[in-house]
Amino acid sequence: MPRFTAIPVGQGDAFYLERDNCSILVDGGRSTVGLRQKLDDLAARPLDIIVCTHNDADHVDGIIGLLRQERACNEIWLPGKWIEVIGHAFKNDSSVVDKLLADISEIPIKRALEKIQKFRGGESIMFEATSLPPQEGEQPLEQHANAMIQDPPDGPEPLDYYLLPPEVRYHWIYSRNKYLNAHPSIQALTEEQATLFSELIEAMDRIMIVALLAMRRRIPIRWFEYDTTQPGGGIENVLVPLNAREVRFHKPRANSVMDVIELTVVNKESLVLWAPPSGDMPGVLFSADSQLTDIDLSGIALDNAICTAPHHGSSDNDCAYSRISLAAENAHTLRWVRSDGCFRKRPGVAYLNTTTRFCTVCRPAQRTPYQAAAQPLNFIPSYGQWTPSGTRQCNCAPAP
């Protein structure tokens, strides 16, 4: 029987859809540990498709952890812009880090702060108990890699370099650039510029590690280039993009290294996906962090569908709710599903104004009946509707 689950991963999105002929994971949350166990607890089938909608840590890091643990997967779908980042990172003619530093050194403090805020989603954590700091036994990505290799020496790579797993080989390149080329230059940056540099390197890491782990596991990759005019590709009647087209080749743009990496976290270019209805199963709209601007929703059967809350219910994406509601013949039949940690500004008013909504974690208040404990959001199809199974509706406190 088909089923849909929003997995409580703390901060970020992780959605599992099981339909008669395919099992799908869309995004994986921020933590690099625990997702495999949560899938096992769900008795999830071996995954046919894993999707990374865009390069935010709270969407990608869980997938990195899952790929490291060799969870079964038949194919992985990635944004096309990642190809450019991979190309820059492996260029041998000059250091990608040197190019980043050259770009960053010209950015004024105010602009650097704006870019940092965009990388971090524009939110600050309010409730430490229900947000998701690094979990016990978890290491940041750089520490994880450095535990496997030493800082590289000058000169040619050692003979066993090409025998190392690909993600370790990438970190050899990264470490060489960071510690041998970049270190003196970082000292000349302002604090804001240095923080931005760190954010960009981490964004590049996420892209490289996902792609390289997929190659190591021999998982075929499908690439999807942002395109709202002629979306296409995916798997018909299973999962299709609404704002991207599947590509075999990606034509690089004349962007700087910084621009290329930065564009991989632009929320409006998140992959928006549609799982069409089938039999008794209504559809599922995976909104990721998109505002859904310029996306044609007129051709999909939204009535009775599950819609994942855009950007975890952030008020920055309020326009998406009206676009979805207008596209549905009966907006009151929609099931809104929100996956997140606890933040001061999320969810926003537009999400709270929806008719039927569910949260993995609700924003707590000082009094009952508000509950902040995390819950999986389980739905099964029944009489042409998604019916919650052991799942309470949203009881978020109003925004302060």
- The pLDDT tens digits of the residues spanning 223-273 come to 999 999 999 999 999 999 999 999 987 666 666 778 888 877 777 789 999
Taking the domains of the chain in order of start, what are their residue ranges? 96-206
Q: What mean pLDDT do residues 338-355 have?
A: 87
In contact, 62 and 35? CB cutoff 8 Å: yes
Q: Which of 17-31, 164-178, 358-372 has the lowest mean pLDDT?
A: 164-178
Structure confidence at residue 50 (pLDDT): 97
What would the two tokens of residue 318 be? Answer: 């309020």
Show Cβ contacts of residue 16 under 8 Å, excluding neighbours closer than 6 positions.
Answer: 4, 5, 7, 23, 24, 25, 26, 39, 42, 44
Structure confidence at residue 254 (pLDDT): 63
3-class state of residue 291 by DSSP: coil
- The pLDDT tens digits of the residues spanning 258-313 come to 888 887 777 778 999 999 999 999 999 999 999 998 999 988 999 999 999 999 99
Q: What mean pLDDT do residues 317-334 have?
A: 93
Strand partners, 23: 18
Q: Which of 59-73, 88-102, 168-182, 187-201 has the lowest mean pLDDT?
A: 168-182
